[in-house]
A and B are shown apart, each in its own frame.
Chain A
Amino acid sequence: MMRNRPISQPLAWTEKGAFVKRPRNRLAWLGGFVGLSLLVMGLYAAGYLRPARELVLQGLAPLQGVITSVDEQVGAAVKTVRDLRTLRQRNAELERLVDSLVVENVQLKEIEAENANLRKLLHFAQRHPFLEFRGAEVVARVISRDPTNLSNYLLINLGREHGIREGMPVVTERGLVGRISQVNKTTSQVLLITDPASAVNALIQSSRLTGLVEGQAGGGLVMNYIPQDATVTPGEIVITSGLGGNFPRNLVIGQITAVHQRDYEMFQKAVVHPSVDFNQLEQVLVITNFVPIEGVEDLFNR
């Protein structure tokens, strides 16, 4: 009986507690909310809602930080309990390792000293300008991630008042993470290289072939626009080329895991496994003395 009711006469609830009256005209309600959504999109694109958003994000940042911190502590505690199971076995292994590492450490110190001398001799700093950024790194803590699965952004706990600017590259010791796409007063949004909106000029370290590393939905990376006649093999390292002026040169992006070559296409493409584990990111470095070329920031003002 109820299933035969026309949609325009739905079941009724008591209005106790209900703040919205039951709609009579469904399409009018839909139109109203769609219109509201489009209005919000338009107002934001025009810049009217940005200050409000910044204010809310600033207010939420401490809460996000606390939840992330609790999450990390719980994760660490769980990990500790798990580790206890294998602690005895590992202890014996580690004692053996310590003995060998002491010897290795002495050797490495020698190599380090030798390396430092070689760097001076070869003017390494001039040929690899990324090393100059060491003094300008700022450590930021990841306080939240993108709530959707289709975008790959991070929110970090540094903002305008810490000297962060749009376009600054973000890295970890393992390689390139992304770049600052939006700066608020105390937080900043990082566009990860795995986001489909991200594109990084890159080159294959050994062959010096250039291409464009683009993010894929699901967190993957693909290097496009590799010349068709070039030989590319899995295992090769991909680094930033510095072309375009968006990123410094020689930052590690990842390693090629597969190559897709079709005779009828102008270019071949390679699947790149990122060197950074984006699921485990807790702290990142923001390179503050790299100035991207003017106009690039406009890409992020959406």
Chain B
Amino acid sequence: MTPFLFVPLLGVLTILQATLFAHITLLGVHPDLVLLAVVSWTLLRGLGEGLAWAFVGGLWIDLLSGGPFGLSALTLVLVAFLVSFLEANLFREHIVLVMLIIIGAGIARDALYLGFLRMIGQSTAPVDAIWRVVIPAAFYTSLLAPIFFPMMQWLHRATGRERLEW
């Protein structure tokens, strides 16, 4: 892919997340498109590009969010690092597995976010937040994976082919 084309791509996803998808709520939460993109790309391309996507995607969220600036970037980077360990898994393109990874990544990302918020004294009732927001949001986001992940696979194939080395 043309270097840095992913920057506006993640920007568009963030804006869609803050406008259009903010109204498409389920149990009071909306899906996290940026997390979907970052996790998908990390699974497809591995740690290096995954971290770059996580950092840039996180900064886009920080730009439009009222939360502490830089916190989304930090938490997404940590999640991309964890997800990158699954990159080499042969079954990574099985969509159910991808959905499970996204649920785990969503919960991990929000739990880290809440943890950091608590460290700086800005979070109340984190356990409540996990049940009412974090888990529903992670499941909702994962429901979009069957549509979103194939698009990322197409982008992955269109921008660089895989070659196995034995």
Contact = CB atoms under 8 A, between A and B. Distances in A.
Given A7-B85, A218-B133, A63 B15 contact: yes
Given A53-B69, A147-B64, A149-B32, A29 B17 contact: no
A160 interface: no
Contacts of A22: 46-48
Contact of B74 (A32, A41, A71): A41
> Looking at chain A's contact residues, is the secondary structure mostly helix, strand, loop, or mixed?
mixed
Nearest to A199: B124
Contacts of A49: 69
B74 A34 contact: yes
Contacts of B63: 53, 56-57, 60
Interface residue range, chain A: 35 or more
A10 B46 contact: yes
Interface residue range, chain B: 35 or more
Q: Which of A26, A45, A57 has the most CB of B within 10 A?
A: A26
Contacts of B61: 147-148
18 contacts: A7-B85, A10-B46, A10-B88, A19-B1, A21-B48, A29-B81, A33-B54, A34-B77, A60-B15, A144-B18, A145-B22, A146-B64, A147-B22, A151-B65, A151-B66, A182-B66, A214-B124, A219-B28
Given A2-B90, A14-B163, 13 more contacts: A11-B165, A21-B48, A45-B69, A144-B18, A146-B18, A147-B14, A147-B64, A148-B65, A150-B114, A196-B129, A197-B122, A215-B124, A217-B133
